[in-house]
Amino acid sequence: MKPTDFSVHVTSFLTHYLAAQRNVSPNTIKAYRDVFTLLLRFCRDVQEIAPERLRLEQIDVSLVEAFLDYLERERKSSPRTRNHRLAALHAFFRYVQAEEPARMHQCQKILAIPQRRHARPTVAYLSKEELAEILAQPDLRTPDGQRDAVLLSVLYDVGARVQELVDLSVGDVRLDPPAQLRLLGKGRKMRAVPLMGNTVQLLRIQPPRSSRTVRQVSFPERAPSTTDAFGNPLHPSQICRPGTKQASESEPNSKSAHPETYQGNAPVAERNLARHDP
């Protein structure tokens, strides 16, 4: 069977344009890939168009709008998630209009679909007492407790996103003065964030559960610094678990301690660090 124009452009968009030309992160490519997976399933199950027969001309503004409505109605996607899916389709059709000038009008009608406005939730933060209770929960006598203590302390210190913490390598950690972490954020933007003394001490004393565990000033190799019991890199969901677990154990009825809650505490940590610096 001859490949369709849609399949050719999607393959080129994901494997060549995003990775080679735009040099976007693997996580962004995965997110875009997931959008096309959902779109293909929608076309197959709702529009009754087999993926191998889907052509570019069939993906018009009415189909994209129906797809977005399907996400909200059937998959219960939030407006924020809907907007993320739409942003991925916008990126694709910006690419297509340059590759297929004859379809510029079709592409631009899709690009004109607006993002949905929605209320942005207020990011909560923990009081000094609540934070102290959570940080005191990990059992430092066990390897898992030591790891959780380090993760919670780093989240509080630097206000890192979960993916930034998962992507940390031992070469990104400096424990000699001035102690700091080097984080790779969205858009591949690198930033150096200072560490407070207590967190540095935890990083120094954490015993190695594998050769890839952070315990020295820095290692030359690019190896994950956050690992599980088997030495495998942690998944973001495993980073989320310690904070919510420790919060529920310290106070069953307390506010949720999702990693974004620690991001809300980051400005407090920065003020505390400045206050104690000579």
pLDDT in tens for each of the 278 residues of the chain? 899 999 999 999 999 999 889 988 888 999 999 999 999 999 999 999 999 999 999 999 999 999 999 999 999 999 999 999 999 999 999 999 999 999 999 999 999 999 998 777 776 667 778 777 877 888 878 877 777 777 787 777 777 777 787 777 777 888 888 888 888 877 778 888 888 887 788 777 654 444 444 433 333 344 444 555 445 555 555 555 544 444 445 454 455 555 455 454 454 444 444 444 44
Task: Kindly give the pairing relationship between strand 173-174 and strand 190-194.
Answer: unpaired
Tally the residues of the chain: 278
Helix (H, G, I), strand (E, B) or coil at 121: coil
Token pair for 88: 């991925």
Token pair for 96: 């297509």
Interatomic CA distance for residues 273 and 278, integer angstroms: 10
Q: What is the pLDDT of residue 211?
A: 40
Q: What is the pLDDT of residue 106?
A: 96
Question: Are the C-beta atoms of residues 138 and 145 closer than 8 Å to each other?
Answer: yes
Q: Enumerate residues 6+ apart whose C-beta is below 8 A from 257.
A: 126, 134, 243, 244, 246, 247
Give the distance from CA 29 to its chain's centroid: 12
**φ, ψ dihedrals at 233, nearest 5°:** -60, 140
The structure's pTM equals 0.63
Q: What is the pLDDT of residue 237?
A: 53
Q: What is the pLDDT of residue 231?
A: 52
Q: What is the DSSP annotation of 130-199?
A: HHHHHHT-S-TTSHHHHHHHHHHHHHHHH---HHHHHT-BGGGEE-SSSPEEEEE-GGG-EEEEE--HHH
Q: What is the pLDDT of residue 227?
A: 54
Interatomic CA distance for residues 59 and 96, integer angstroms: 12
Residue at token pair 């678990």: 241
Question: Are the C-beta atoms of residues 246 and 138 closer than 8 Å to each other?
Answer: yes
Question: Are the C-beta atoms of residues 264 and 124 closer than 8 Å to each other?
Answer: yes
Q: What is the pLDDT of residue 184?
A: 80
Give, for 8, the enclosing helix (H) or strand (E): helix 5-12
Q: What is the pLDDT of residue 84?
A: 96
Q: What is the pLDDT of residue 269?
A: 45
